[in-house]
A and B are shown apart, each in its own frame.
Chain A
Amino acid sequence: MKFGVLINEGPYQHQASDTAYKFIEAAIEEGHEIFRVFFYHDGVNNGTRLATPPQDDRHIPNRWTELAEKHDLDLVLCVAAAQRRGMVDEDEMKRNSKDANNIAGKFRISGLGQLIEAGIQADRMITFGD
């Protein structure tokens, strides 16, 4: 079965991102397909590669990248939410004349259409947020 996942909260401030991660891990283990993970609102902060949490804590952004590399997940940050919060990839850096980018590996920035498409294409849609 195909699952679409929406995450509305950032790392380390709410359990939503952790719950979503554990859910996705279990879904893959059970043989399901993750059609897309869409990060919206503060959820886009999951996609920074500049985070340095304490060594004895889980590294939430890296954990997403690693899971995506292993299972070829599509991790999408909402572009409007990302712009507001300073989440920038190479293209956005050029487009908005910024001096740096900070997006973590395997994440990409795109529009709300990607969320709608997930809602249409996936058999199940589930939201994690506050």
Chain B
Amino acid sequence: MDYVPILILMALGLLLGGTVLIVSTLLGPKLPNKRKNQPFECGVPPVGDTRQRFSVRFYLVAILFLLFDVEAIFFFPFAVTFRKFLEINSFIIWEMGFFVGILLVGYWYVLKKGALEWE
């Protein structure tokens, strides 16, 4: 029952956004023109086909980002509760150091294998 305002907010948001889009589609003028239909390239006329192969480096960087981002996510619960654990003993710092150490080994492997080379 406490969460009904959130439901109402979601519904109103969908309603408003949907209404604006639908009304503008129905009532707006439709005058397509060759230059207006080109893909937007910050004012520069587009050159060539959009469907070209792009390098696998992007994928590698994205996957590595994902992995280290998940590591960062594991830091959050640690960061929130570690002061309370420090009152008992310092084990939690060593534990987190071990976790980071394992991931540093992985990072060193990635670095040396050249997965982060951009060229």
| A and B associate in one complex | no
| Contacts from A to B (Cβ < 8 Å) | none
| Contacts from B to A (Cβ < 8 Å) | none
